[in-house]
Structure formats: C-alpha cells, structure tokens
Amino acid sequence: MSQTMQAWAVDVPGPIDSKPLRRIERTVPVPGHGQMRVRVSVCGVCRTDLHLAEGDLVPKHHLVIPGHEVVGVVDQLGEGCVRFVVGDRVGVPWLARTCGICRFCTAGKENLCTDPRFTGWDLDGGYAPYIVTDEAYSYELPATFSDEEAAPLLCAGIIGYRALRRSRLPSGGRLGIYGFGGSAHLTAQIAIAEGARVHVLTRAPEARELALQLGASSAGDAEDLPPEPLDSAILFAPVGNLVLPAMAALDRGGTLAVAGIHLSDIPTLSYQEHLFQERILCSVTANTRRDGEEFLERAARIPLRVSTVPYPLDQADEALSDLAHDRVTGAAVLVDATEQRR
C-alpha cells in the first residue's frame, strides 16, 4: 500500500490574503532512474514561492507543491545513483533539470537552457515531508551550516551570488543593494568579504539595522541616493519603480543587475539620466550548477552569517503572508516538526 503525506499546494493563485495555498494529501513519491528521495528537514521560503502563489508566475500544473530551498536526508535511491548514499545530507535547489543538448547547455550556460525544469514550479517542491530530486542537480552541503542556515543558501544565496557577478563589481568597488531580505543579506556579506563598500537602500527599518550589523557602509530608504556614486548595484526588491533611482545612482560605466524572477513594470527611462555614459541594465536568469558550487564554497569559507526566521511546516501560509507584508527580517524557513533540527 502506498504511503501518503500532507503537503502544501497552490490551489487558486491570487493575493496571499486570499489563501492561495491549500493543504492536500499526496502519495509519498518514489524516485526514478538517477533520482533520490529526500526526507525534508527544512525548506526555505523564497519570494519566488510568493510570486507562484499570487500568480505572478503561472503554476505549471494545478496543485503544484512550492519550495526550492530544501535541506534533508537521502531516504531512498533510484537506479543509477552514484553521488550520494542513503543517510547523506543534501540540498535541493531551484534548478531541477536541463536538457543538456541545446546551444546554451553545450556552451556552459545551462541557466539559459531552452527546456529547463524547476523545483517547486515544474516539479513538486519542499513544502512537504518528502521530495524526489535528480541527484545530478543536488548539492553536498558544507558542515559549517545547520539545516536552517543552509536552506536559504540554495536559492537566495546562489541567485544573489550570480547577481553579484552579473553586476560587474570591481575589486574594492562601491555596491548598492536595493531591498534587503533573504538573498540580499547573504550577497552583501560576500561583497564585503571581497573588499567592497556596500550601501543598502530599503524601506524596512529592521532590514537597515541588520545591514549595518553585517558591515554595510550605509543604510538608507529605498529611494534615497547613496552617499557616493556606485560602480554596481543589485535590485532584489521586485519593484520596477526602483530601477530609476538605482540607475541614477550609478557612476559612469556602472551596472545594475535585476536579481528577481519577477519585476513590476519599469517606468520610462531617460536615456540621458539613466543610460548615457555607458551605464548597463541587465537581468539575472536562474543559475548554473557551477554558480552553486562556487557560492557554497565561498559561503563556508567566510563563513556567512545566515539570519533565519523559523516556522513550522504546517504554518507555510502564514510564513508566505509575513513575507508578502514585510514582516520577515532575513530568511523565513519551514521546519518539519518531526525532524531533528541540527
């Protein structure tokens, strides 16, 4: 007889206060070839999950289970698995599968794969006690971090790291960070460790306080001008209106990288004010596995301080609501009460 489990799924996407998540009963998944089943200990709550629940990202199928910052223990192996054994602690990230044959995959740009799959969007994710994942896209996690600390690294950390590289921050440069949540508070620490001066612009007073505690040179309101021109900037807040002040804050030749998978509409840009003098506006799309490996190695070496706010798994809807209403400082994580917290 098949085992069943309780999980959260996106029912009817809409504003988070309309309760788009629903508790469902689902058969415990069985791994196929090259896959492994992971008993979930902690799952991070990412803003992408909020976009999915609210319909900014259209669910790939009805009642998809969100969650793509998954930490757990290998529970069962499918045929052909060679990287991990039962009992290993692993991380399950956003990038779940790529085709391996398109022009981007063969050029080392698998983040731009023309036929990708993503955890918690195409494939059921970690708002559940069990998840099945392709072992080739899973990560070995540094022992430096507890399960709660490791979970946000698997998307917030990796995407922030790719955004930092896309921002073309020079050695010892001046970086502006717009929005300061789960991803930004990790990215800021990487930049500071590499010698940058970091200026945080965010509307939440608690987030500004955290930024200063982590070593930011300044922290102001989201639409303030930083105290000096910026070599680079990263926009984490999904607010298109902030593109204009961020671009205006760039020095000549500066770059703004937009880190989110969703952004509200950008107002009209002025060529002279925002783009002239070789300023660059670019996006960030997913990540490669190499990005993840590089980031996790650096995160352990620094080591990063990960600020988390834990919620029981059965309060996933409350965690997403708090995220939507800016009541979370750092990264929210769902903890399965039946698992041993490390």
3-state secondary structure of 91: strand
The predicted pLDDT at position 126 comes to: 98
At 31, list the tokens: 């791994």
Q: Say which CATH topology domain 4-152+307-335 has.
A: Quinone Oxidoreductase; Chain A, domain 1 (3.90.180)
**pLDDT for position 253:** 98
CA distances 91 to 129, 147, 326, Å, are 14, 9, 26
Of the candidates 228, 184, 219, the residue with the CA atom closest to the CA atom of residue 199: 219
pLDDT by residue (tens digit) across 10-27?
Answer: 999 999 999 999 999 999
H or E stretch covering 30: none
Tokens of 287: 């990540």
Q: Count CB neighbours of 39 within 10 A.
A: 16
Q: What is the pLDDT of residue 67?
A: 98
The per-residue pLDDT for 340 is 43
Indicate the burial class of 265 (C-beta count within 10 angstroms; 0-12, 13-18, 19 or more): exposed
Please report, as a single letter, which amino acid is at residue 249: A
Residue percentage of the chain with pLDDT more than 90: 96
Rg (CA), the chain: 20
For the chain, domain boundaries: 4-152+307-335, 158-283
**What does the alpha-carbon distance between residue 115 and residue 212 come to, in Å, rounded to a whole number?**
41
Q: What angle do CA 50, 73, 300 make, to 5 degrees?
A: 75
Return the CATH class of domain 158-283.
alpha beta
| Helical segments of 194-310, H only | 205-213, 243-248, 289-301
User: Burial of 172 by CB count in 10 Å (0-12 exposed, 13-18 middle, 19+ buried)?
Assistant: exposed
β-bridge pairing 331-335 and 35-45? antiparallel
pLDDT beneath 70: ranges in the chain = 1, 337-342
CA distance 336 to 342: 12
pLDDT in tens, 247-293: 999 999 999 999 999 999 999 999 999 999 999 999 999 999 999 99
Contact 53, 20 (CB under 8 A): yes
Distances (CA, A) of 229 to 86, 102, 107, 174: 52, 40, 35, 8
pLDDT at 2: 76
CB 94 within 8 A of CB 116: no
pLDDT score, position 336: 87
Q: What is the pLDDT of residues 89-121, one digit of tens each?
A: 999 999 999 999 999 999 999 999 999 999 999
- Do you find a cis peptide bond into 303, omega within 30 degrees of 0? yes
- Specify the pairing of strand 218-220 against strand 197-201: parallel
Give the CA distances from residue 262 to residues 45, 48, 259, 291, in Å, rounded to whole numbers and listed in that order: 16, 8, 9, 21
Cα–Cα separations (whole angstroms), residue 5 to 87, 113, 130, 161, 173: 20, 33, 8, 34, 49
- Which residues are within 8 A (CB) of 213 and not within 5 positions of it... i.e. 6 or more apart? none
